[in-house]
Structures are given as structure tokens and as C-alpha cells.
Structure 1
Amino acid sequence: MDEMVAAVDIGGTKIAGALVDRGGRMLAQCQRPTPAKEDAARVLAAVTEVLDELAAAPQWSAVRCVGIGSAGPVDAPKGAVSPVNIPAWRGFPLVDAVREHLADDLPVVLTGDGPAMTAAEHWQGAARGFRNALCMVVSTGVGGGLVLDGALYPGPSGNAGHIGHISVDLDGDPCPCGSRGCVEIIASGTSIARRALRDGWQPRGDDASAGAVAASAAEGDPIALAAFARAAQALAAGIAATATLVELDVVVIGGGVAKSGETLFAPLREALHDYATLPFVRHLELRPAELGTDAGLVGAAAAAAQELGLDGWL
């Protein structure tokens, strides 16, 4: 039987699991709701329930390690997590807890959700074949990860590539991270909707989401178009700064806001042309993500395989 990685993807709404093989295929998938408002033990119990269901699959005997992708921040060297949307987990020793629960002494590798998505897109998706890439999730927040010289670069703590907290507006709104004018506070779905409402956009019915703003923009609503243009400008400034620092070849963007398609990508390409002006970044390619909701699990497996040097994986 082909060797596998047991992958777990921990987010604010669900905890998903799968057994992932060398071809990126997912078997024995399962998930539980994230009890984000409950205590630390109950959240851990949801994780262990997912692991127990995976362990009951006949393919478990082929599992070589466990890869965990988690909302962050993470502290990979300590195996700890502090997801913003799971208040009970602050410096929670997740890796030690999972190792204690498992009886078979499997290695456990922790990765942030941004780097996990990046590992997935580089292995099986839109960044495949590129040596240097930035992959981003633009949703209720803005996160990301880096591939440098052909390999995932999570950084010393596991948080490298977190482009959402690059400041692109020195006098901008305060960000929950403690800084000001971050990409996330301008370009997240929540921020797009907030700006549109502030500027007089009128939602139809009760839907005041970024998706509803995107629908209005697609119909030519000038306020909705301006909200997306502002978000695209912030994203372009952050992308150009990152590309200038590390010389990227491609930028891949996924997440709920990216589902708006050309409503986001058209002004983003235009703004990137204005910001990425130096000769060594002008060639930068922009692509939509390909793996969707599978990216967290596929990426957790890929990151673990790279970390442990599993043969024939990447």
C-alpha cells in the first residue's frame, strides 16, 4: 500500500481530516464543527475525534506521519497554536497533545494555514512548476505563504508570508493585529463590505457580504466597484513589496473574495502594473487558486512530507 500522511485542517468553523497519498488524493475524509467558543479541552476533543475516525480507516497502516495545518498564529518550533478565532487556544501545545493521543508514535508536523495552502498550490495547483511563489487567501482575513527556491518557506516560527499584516497605508485604520493600515484591514471581505456600506452602497435585502458587493460591482455599481478597486490597490501594494524583497515568479490568490473573479482580478492586475515597476518584478504572473477547500488538507500533508523528507512526495 502506498504510504500516506494523515492530514488535519483546523479552522474557526470546521476541523477536517483526510488520508493523503503521494498523488495528492484524499481518502477517508471526515470533519467536525469547531467548538470555537468552548474551552480548550473541547476543541482538542474535536481534533482527536477526527484523528480517531481516520485511524479507523483500513489505510491507516500506511500512514507515516500526521500533518496539521492550523489557523494562526502558530509557533511551529514549540508545536503551539493561538488561532485568533479560537479564544481558548492561546499558546496551546497542540503537537504534544496529538502525540499523547496517538498510540503509534507517528511524527507530527504543524504548519500555519497560509503556508499549508501555499504548499498545496505549489504541489498540485496553480503554483506548480514555479520556483518562487506567493500564495494568498483573501477571505474574512488575508493570509499567505511563500515558496522560495522550489521549497515551502514557513520561516522560523511557521508564519512567513503573512502578507495580510504588511502595512500599506501609514495613516490607515487600526488593525486588530495592533498595527495600522494593513492589507487585511483594507482588502479582506469584511473590509470590502464595510467600506461599501460606509460609502453609501445599498444591499439588496439582508445580504451585506463581500459577495453581495461583488455582485453589485459586476452590475456596474460605482460604489461597489470603488470598494473592490481599493482592496485591489492594497493587495497590489503588498504583493509588489513582497515580490521586490524575494523576487517572485507567480502570485496565486484563493479564498472567498477571489471567487468574485474578474471583479477582483481586473483591478488587481491594473494596480499591480502600477506598483510592481522594477524590471525584476514586472514579469510577475497572477493566477487564481485551483484547489479550493481541499488546499488545507493537501497542504498540511505536503508541508509534513517536505519537513520529514519523505521520498517521492514533492
Structure 2
Amino acid sequence: MPQDLVAALDIGGTKIAGALVDAGGSLLVRTQRPTPARESAERMSATADDVLGELTSAPEWQRVRALGIGSAGPVDAKAGTVSPVNIPVWRDHPLVAGVRERTGGLPVSLVGDGVAIAAAEHWQGAARGRAGALCMVVSTGVGGGLVLDGALHPGPTGNAGHIGHISVDMDGELCPCGSRGCVETLASGTNIARHALDSGWRPGPGQDATAAGVAAAARAGDPLARAAYARAARALAAAIAATATLVEIEIAVIGGGVARAGEVLFEPLREELKRYATLSFVQGLDLAPATTGTDAGLVGAAAAGWKLLDVQVA
């Protein structure tokens, strides 16, 4: 039987997903569970085990050569641990050791979820063929990953490009990470909805009090909803421009649930980038929505798994 697959786990604040993936990026088996982020460490581990168990019980599991994990961060690739800001019940959790034990000692690679998104977009998405890119996921949290000199740049611990915890408001509110004024406190879906509600916005008929509901209201012209997205766009633009100035990327790619707001987000983001990306070598920065969809984290985690095997896909 050929060994021509890798397994992938995508661990985030909303869902834990798993898949078996071939070298072309196709998902042959896929499963997921809601993330019990605030229940208990044991419940979190059991949920991850459930997802992994579905993969290992699939007939195709015999073809798996390695496993890649993309997790909400920060992660520590050297230690094999995760301490996701938006999963408070896991701190220094020995994820890699547990996964390796449950898979019979398979090689395991761990990267941050933003790095996984960057790997997916560079492999199959909007950053394909680009020498320098920042790829972001804007959802329950805000993460990112970098492509530099045509290759994924995870950094020594697997966190490089973690743009959600760059401070863009020095006197801003306290972030769960311990810093102040982080991009995530301004631009995550949770905080977009919270700011809109704090400003007096209320969901209309058929809407809910989430970032998606705020986006629908903004699309219909509600000024408070539009202001909430403009505030998020300003934070994202400041961080993107700072990153481009530092490492000279060619393109910024944005995915995740907030990016699905479309022009509600991208129109003010383009305008804010003009204000912040002012130096000559960053003025030509391209901006694009991610194209790898809801399975980007799995595709990127698989890319990390293939890299373990010296199979270059991203």
C-alpha cells in the first residue's frame, strides 16, 4: 500500500478540524468538532482526540507518512507545546507529544495557525508564486504568517508573522496576551461585534449580534456598523503597512470569517493602507482576499507535514 498522504490538524478557537491530505492538496477524509475552549483542559484534549480518532480509523490512514498541526498561538514548535490566547484552558499543553503517542510515533510538525494559512495561500491561493507575502486570518482571533524569499518563514518557534499581537494603539485596551492595543483587540470578529454594540448598534430583523450581523448592517448602510468595520480596517492597515515596511512583502492576503464581509472590510482597508503605506517601496503593495477557503488551515497544516518529509509544496 502506498504511503502518499499526510494527516493535518487545524486547532482554533471555534473548531478543531482534521483531514488526510495528498501531495496535491486534496482532502480525502475530513472531520471537525466545536472547540470547547473554556470548558476544561481535559475536555479540550478529548475533543482533539476525537478528531484524531476519526482520522486514524479511516482506511486511508495506512497511507499516512507524517502529521502537520496548525494551532492558534502562540505555539512552541521546539517544545511541541501550545498556549492559544483564545483557548485559555490550554497553557503549555504538550500537544505534539500526545499526538505522536496516539499515532504510533509518526513525525509531527507544529506551526501557528497563521503560518498554516500562509502555507496554504502560497501553495494554492492568492500568494502563489509570490516571493514575499503576509497572509492573515481574521476570525475569532487575528493571526498571520510570512513568505519571504519565496519560502514559508515560520521562525524558530513556529510563530513568525503573528500580526494579531502587534500593538497599533499604545494606550489601547488590555489584550488577553498581556499587551495593550493589539490588532486583535480592534479587528477580530468578536471585537468588531463588541465595539458595534458598545457604540449603540443593535441587530435588525434577521441579523445576529456577531461580526457577520454587523457586516450585513454595514452593507445596508448602517453608520455604526460601518464605523466598526472602518475601525478594524484602520488597525489592520497599520499592522500590514508596518510589516511591509519591515520585510518588503509584495502582497497581503486576508482570510477568515471577517474577510467574508467582502467590500465592507476591503474598501476601508484599501483607503487606510494609502494612509499608512506611504514609503515608495510599500506603495505598490497588493491586497487580496484569501482563496483557499474554510479548509485553509488544514491545507497549510498538511504543507507543514509534507515539509517534514522534504516534499516541497509551499
- Band the TM-score falls in, shorter-chain normalisation: over 0.9
SS class of match (1:84): coil
CA distance in 2, matches of 1:13, 1:243: 29
Q: 1:302 to 1:281 in 2, by over 3 A?
A: same
**Are residues 1:157 and 2:167 paired?**
no
User: CA offsets, 1:66-85, max 9 Å, x none?
Assistant: 11111221111000111233
- What letter matches 2:203 in structure 1? P
Within a 5 Å distance, the mapping from 1:237-276 to structure 2 comes to: 237-276=238-277
- What letter matches 1:43 in structure 2? M
CA distance in 2, matches of 1:250, 1:209: 28
- What letter matches 1:196 in structure 2? A
Equivalent pairs: percent with the same residue? Answer: 68
Could you tell me which residue of structure 1 aligns to residue 138 of structure 2? 138
Could you tell me which residue of structure 2 aligns to residue 281 of structure 1? 282
- What letter matches 2:8 in structure 1? A
TM-score, with structure 1 as normaliser: 0.93
Could you tell me which residue of structure 1 aligns to residue 194 of structure 2? 194
| Greater Cα shift, 44-53 or 279-288 | 44-53
CA distance in 2, matches of 1:250, 1:276: 12
Within a 5 Å distance, the mapping from 1:99-248 to structure 2 comes to: 99-103=100-104, 105-204=105-204, 207-248=208-249
- What letter matches 2:132 in structure 1? N
CA distance in 1, matches of 2:232, 2:100: 41
SS class of match (1:45): helix
Is the 2:143–2:161 Cα contact (8 Å) retained in structure 1? yes
SS class of match (1:146): strand
User: CA offsets, 1:96-145, max 9 Å, x none?
Assistant: 11112222x32011111111111111111111111111111112221111
SS class of match (1:286): strand
- What letter matches 1:108 in structure 2? V
**C-alpha displacement of 1:285:** 0.5
SS class of match (2:45): helix
Is the 2:133–2:253 Cα contact (8 Å) retained in structure 1? yes
CA distance in 2, matches of 1:37, 1:229: 30
Is the 2:107–2:308 Cα contact (8 Å) retained in structure 1? no
Runs of at least 5 residues in structure 1 that lack an aligned partner in the other structure: none
Is the 1:152–1:303 Cα contact (8 Å) retained in structure 2? no
Q: 1:196 to 1:43 in 2, by over 3 A?
A: closer
**C-alpha displacement of 1:38:** 4.1
- What letter matches 2:283 in structure 1? R
Could you tell me which residue of structure 1 aligns to residue 297 of structure 2? 296
Is the 1:136–1:142 Cα contact (8 Å) retained in structure 2? yes
Aligned Cα RMSD in Å?
1.8
- What letter matches 2:287 in structure 1? L
CA distance in 2, matches of 1:69, 1:179: 24
CA distance in 1, matches of 2:93, 2:176: 21
SS class of match (1:140): coil
Provide the aligned length of Structure 1 versus Structure 2. 312
Q: 1:267 to 1:88 in 2, by over 3 A?
A: closer
TM-score, with structure 2 as normaliser: 0.93
CA distance in 2, matches of 1:77, 1:161: 17
Could you tell me which residue of structure 1 aligns to residue 64 of structure 2? 63
Could you tell me which residue of structure 1 aligns to residue 21 of structure 2? 20
CA distance in 2, matches of 1:35, 1:172: 29
Within a 5 Å distance, the mapping from 1:1-40 to structure 2 comes to: 1=2, 3-40=4-41
CA distance in 2, matches of 1:285, 1:183: 20
CA distance in 2, matches of 1:49, 1:219: 41
Is the 1:2–1:21 Cα contact (8 Å) retained in structure 2? no
